[in-house]
Amino acid sequence: MPRYFLEISYRGTNYSGFQVQENANTIQAEVEKALAVLYRQSFQLTGSSRTDAGVHALQNYFHFDTELLLDARQLYNLNSILPPDIAANNLFPVSPNTHCRFDALSREYKYYITRKKNPFLQSICYHYPYPLNIEALQKLAAIIPEYSEFTSFSKKNSDVKTFTCNIFFSQWRIEDECYVFYITANRFLRGMIRGLIATMLKVTKGRYAEKEFRQIIESNNNNQADFTAPPHGLFLVSVKFPGDYFKIE
């Protein structure tokens, strides 16, 4: 049966997360509903990266199988059915053995913080009106790729078999009036990035920030981490696949 990848972007403010949940409005549920309206049959979608409630995405993927012959030109019709805060950006026919979650090489996220109150950024940027030490934050960010075990930064009741993540890039930058944290890895745990953000903000207030941050990572105890960073500052920026991935064999 033919398989397709659907590339989407969305503002997560009004959703209880990415994956279908009972009695909750989710990105997957809205996309499945729109596809069913357009093609008059049901679709079972598999997602690439599960974002939490309130988290946004500039790029994410679903894959699904169907006997229908689909065309990217039909995205106009699909977008007319989808709510305004979800966009279908591309549609790719792929090989039947591909998998948008397991075949992804990396995921890149950004987290936005502003110290200045700005009504135009309030839904997409964490307003943190306290002093920020960018040099101290950079030192903590540089520590993160040294580790691969992130039990301390996984929320409780996470349905995973391993807490191992390979971090490829971790850095703070200042862009316009925002402090932006960039992080890229092969995978992330539930709540992991927000846990890293809130913990970095917390420990930089102390005198021995680097030592304390390492101790929290190495404790493998999520009671040591802080998960209070709100979701609306977090964006899934991109999901990367091998270079020839979208060529049909």
Catalytic (active-site) positions: 52
Neighbours of 119 (CB within 10 A): 6
Provide the strand spans (E) within the chain: 3-10, 46-47, 56-65, 86-94, 106-114, 126-127, 167-175, 178-185, 234-240
CB-based contacts of 148: which residues, under 8 Å, 6+ apart?
164, 165, 166, 167
Q: 114 pairs with which residues across the strands? A: 127, 178
CB-based contacts of 112: which residues, under 8 Å, 6+ apart?
121, 124, 125, 126, 178, 179, 180, 233, 235
Packing angle, helices 134-143 and 192-203, rounded to 10: 130
> 245 and 100 in contact (C-beta within 8 Å)?
no
d(CA 181, CA 61): 23
DSSP 193: H
d(CA 68, CA 49): 25
Taking Cα atoms as reference points, which of 248, 237, 247 lies closest to residue 108? 237
CB burial of 16-35 (b: ≥16 within 10 Å; e: otherwise) equals bbbbbeeeeebbbbbbbebb
